[in-house]
Amino acid sequence: DILPEGGVLLLFGAPKVMKSWATQQMAYSIASGRDWLGLTTRRAKTLDFQFEISPLAYWWRLVKQNEYYQLERGSTWLYEHSQLGLYLDDPEHFAHIKGHVEEIMPDVIVLDCLAACFRGDESSSRDMSGFIERVDELRRVRDSSIILVHHSRKMPAVSSFTELARGASRLTGWVDSIVCVQDKPGGIKQFQFMARQAQREVPTIEARFENFIFRVV
């Protein structure tokens, strides 16, 4: 319902709301064919680009989550690339990123996060349109589904949670689905969904992060 084949999902939230942990868990869930926050997945080859966290710190996160998912050593379902300083709007960098996609041919591509792989102006519709073209070019290599991680605005006055995403509205208007992660009292994280292709209304989900895994409460 929230990640259609060949579609784009935007997951965003404030700093330190654990967006990357949630997205990494989604990647593991898809690569192993297990539920994500109670939502059913179909097992698919997944490539996780991590542009923001140092490779060593990210490796530690992978180890911790794999203790739960137990993907076999040398698995051909989950791949990661955690090289910092790569930007989709830089032609040389983009060729490097696209080369990995062409080599692995994943069903799902994770880009974490937009601010760390884009040097343009997020508020510029023109700059954002250029970024979207790059993401779409990656998607078309194999008609992959895209999971894009992003940040929310600072305390805005909005009528809908879909307007909380930072930058030009061109982005939220383009994606198929939106997931907004927010902090709630008692260490709870709230996940709100807007899925344009869903056959049902996806309810809000609340989860707690325990032993390096989000668990529905």
Quick one: average pLDDT of 118-145? 97
| The residue type at 8 | V
Note the pLDDT of residue 58: 92
Compute the distance between CA of residue 192 and CA of residue 14 in angstroms, rounded to an integer.
Answer: 14
Note the pLDDT of residue 117: 97
Compute the distance between CA of residue 23 and CA of residue 46 in angstroms, rounded to an integer.
Answer: 12
Residue 204 has pLDDT above 90, yes or no: yes
Confidence of residue 1 (pLDDT cuts 50, 70, 90): confident
pLDDT digits (tens, 9 = 90+) for 72-87: 888 899 999 999 999 9
Note the pLDDT of residue 177: 96
pLDDT digits (tens, 9 = 90+) for 107-129: 999 999 999 999 999 999 999 99
Confidence of residue 59 (pLDDT cuts 50, 70, 90): very high
pLDDT digits (tens, 9 = 90+) for 145-203: 999 999 998 866 676 888 889 999 999 999 999 999 999 999 999 999 999 988 888 99
Note the pLDDT of residue 172: 94
Burial class (CB in 10 A: 0-12, 13-18, 19+), 118: buried
| The residue type at 20 | S
Contact in structure between 108 and 150 (CB atoms under 8 Å): no
| The residue type at 69 | Y
Question: If you average pLDDT over every residue of the chain, what do you get?
Answer: 94
Q: Which of 59, 149, 44, 64 is nearest to 104 (CA)?
A: 44
pTM of the complete model: 0.95
